Structure 1
Amino acid sequence: MSLKKCFFVLCIWLNALAPSYGRIDHLSQSYNPHATRPIARAYVLYAKKVWREIYLNEKENTPFFMSGKEMPKVIIDGAKNGLLVPYTDDTLAEAMPLEQLLKHLQIPGADASTTAHEFFPKEISTLRFVEHVIFNKITARQEYDIESIQLIVPGRNNPPTYLDRPIATFKYKDVIDYFNKLPFESVCWYNTANAAENLTWVDAFSLRLFGSRIVKVGNLDDATVDELYEKTPGDGKGLLASQSLAREIDIESEIYLSEY
């Protein structure tokens, strides 16, 4: 094992063995209160909180974005019908009133009295989700526990400001329950190579069949990847750093810990 690997694993194990000195661990039963796959805190060797964005108009993500069955449309319909609770942000601390959700869906400057001026589902083409990447020391496997999903209108679809427009955030645990109650055709991850292997959107998330970009990793300054690595806006260094972080988090950390 290389020196780098040894140092990485040693740091993780020393942190895991550190005493709490009487501190009450409110995560003793479950690592995350919003977890879809609860893991006892004692079983968590290593964890990172990661923010990723899925760009639905990219080819590999089109099964989430089929015409008339776009995931943002399905989720928003659930919220409008009272089947899903929208939240103001990814802390999931404050529920969003339906009136505020409808306001966020309105195109700026449009008549708020009609849904004719809401953003089209195809314009809500970014999903930003928060997840915990966890190494389970009992199973010796890395696991992904998605906590929330936020719907966003990307800046290119939001003139005249051309700034990203967040619509609402949803607890992923609620989204799973909602999707599981819908007809298969409404939540189908269509397999173009073999229709016999069509899956649901929940399956696609579990199997990590989507493409995404890391936009933030938990840090003291709550800074995004672009804020940390770009010298000038749009210089591309943020994207390169994001790719490097994905390799480190999704591949290298599990390899190092599994080998140990």
Structure 2
Amino acid sequence: MASEKQSFDNCFEVFLADTPESRQIHFNLRYQVYCEEMGFEDKTQYPDEMESDEWDDKAVHFLVRHKLSGHWLGGLRLVYNENGPLPFERHSTSHQHISPGQRKISVEMSRLCVIKEARRFSSKRFAPYGLPDQEIAAENDKVRSFYNFKNQTRSMIWGLFKAAVDYSAEKHLDYWYFIVAPALAYFIKREGFELSQIGEPCDHKGVRIPYKIAVKNILQNPLWQTDYKNDFYVYSEVFKARAGKQKMA
């Protein structure tokens, strides 16, 4: 069982990014990971240091941050497109026909990212697309002030998963689709999540495989019995309330 000191709930909090400001936090985190660190996207295309695409207008975004410092560390999105193809279908053909009815209860999970300062203890195979071959730089004082135990990336990934799946259940969304590197799929499966491969591997910034998972299966995972019990916050509600308190002070 996770100790209180080392639990996700004790150290981190997840927000539904429901404002332009909070969505930009996610875009900037993505820029740091996908453009600056991994080079999967051309940074010259994002002079404002905000990595976004056409799917973001059809998505809900989640952010994770460190409670004590207030630093934003990672995020993911869930993409809706009930009247057309999901993003993964641009790169891979599904073995399973996705009916119009099923599209209404499905989303694609994507743009999962955790900045490198939060991954200093993590193996390169756990990154969204796989880290470059070089090792993560030695920790500095800034990083050391946030983190005092290993496996932060795993904890933040599961915290984001739990918030997004709770949201999915509230909105009566039954299925997630995603396209990931084999190593990340292995990581997810190893934790007991039942992924169904729905297409052949494809070449999209390396080998990627499309999967489907039932929201019900995610909710039943034993992970949630010992940690990740806190609800996610809604960004606009929390920061509006805090701004009001500051004005009254």
TM-score normalized by the length of structure 1:
0.26
Larger-gyration structure (1/2): 1
Larger relative contact order (CA 8 Å, sep ≥ 6): 2
TM-score of the superposed pair, with normalisation by structure 2: 0.27
